[in-house]
Amino acid sequence: MTISPVTPAHSPYSIFCVGKNYPDHAREMAAWEPENKGVTQERHEQEPIIFMKPGTALSKERRTSIPVFEGRPVSSSLHYEAELVLLVGADAEEVSIGDAPGFISGYGAGLDMTLRDVQLEAKKGGNPWLKSKGFRRSALVSEFIAPEDAGQWPDLAISLRVNGAIVQHSPVSKMTFSPSYLVHYLSYIYGLRAGDLIFTGTPAGVGEVSPGDRLDATLETGGEKGLPAITLVTLEAIVS
């Protein structure tokens, strides 16, 4: 299989992120939130949950860390979230689902790094997530592979290894909202620009990292059909 990497976006106009796009991660998050203790009914979102990271969140050197303000770390709990990332290839306004795939120029592996304690505190107080999700070096992406080289998106899977041990793995077909639907939705509500990134959500298995940890997020294909998985792209990142 010949793979021709697509040049990654180093200065995206917008970085869109999707929350709770995998039901197993939505249940995982609910278990951590005090207001959901004992709640067994599962919510079915009618629209994607969208949040954003600023362009300055993109880590070009593929390193991540807890930010420090006036000599003090702003968090004590840095979590990984491995995700399929879409690279937007052209400006998009009010795009139909049928036309949406034509606006995806690349698939990549990404890490949506999260200050989990800051996020949970913000949610408890009804405050925005920006500090917990949009800090510097909180968005990391691999090279991208063109959709025609990657094959059908339901055959893709995302995996993450921390210091060589696998901690996350899921076919992306388990997402509630597909890549095409996300492009369709975002193009109507916000508008998309060439070079934008869409982090499509993470499966269950998120967890904490420490300085010195190595994170390897991989986008694969084929493994969910009983065939050997083929690695398409890998993101190698370090926690500092």
Instruction: Look up residue 22 and give its two tokens.
Output: 């995998």
Of 142, 135, 161, which Cα lies nearest the Cα of 64? Answer: 135
Residue at 51: amino acid letter: F
- For position 44, what pLDDT does the model report? 62
pLDDT, one tens digit for every residue, the chain (240 residues): 445 566 555 689 999 999 999 999 888 877 767 655 544 445 567 899 999 999 999 999 999 999 999 999 999 999 999 999 999 999 999 999 999 999 999 999 999 999 999 999 999 999 999 999 999 999 999 999 999 999 999 999 999 999 999 999 999 999 999 999 999 999 999 999 999 999 999 999 999 999 999 999 999 998 766 678 899 999 999 999
Integer Rg of the chain from CA:
17
> Residue 173 and residue 223: Cα distance in Å, rounded?
13
Question: How many of the other CB atoms lie within 10 Å of CB of 125?
Answer: 8
Which of 157, 201, 158 has its CA nearest to residue 18? 201
- For 171-218, what is each residue's pLDDT tens digit? 999 999 999 999 999 999 999 999 999 999 999 999 999 999 999 999
Buried b (16+ CB within 10 A) or exposed e, 65-86: bbeeeeeeeebebbbbbbbbbb
Q: How far is CA 237 from CA 46, 77, 210, in A?
A: 34, 17, 12
**pLDDT of the residue at 28:** 83
pLDDT at res. 11:
81
- Residue 222: what pLDDT? 84
C-alpha span between 160 and 222 (Å, rounded): 17
pTM of the model: 0.92
Q: How far is CA 20 from the centre of its chain?
A: 10
Tokens of 40: 């067994």
Q: Which of 97, 72, 54 is nearest to 186 (CA)?
A: 97
DSSP state of 194: T
Q: What is the model's pLDDT at position 1?
A: 42
CB count, 10 Å around CB of 117? Answer: 16
The pLDDT assigned to 40 comes to 45
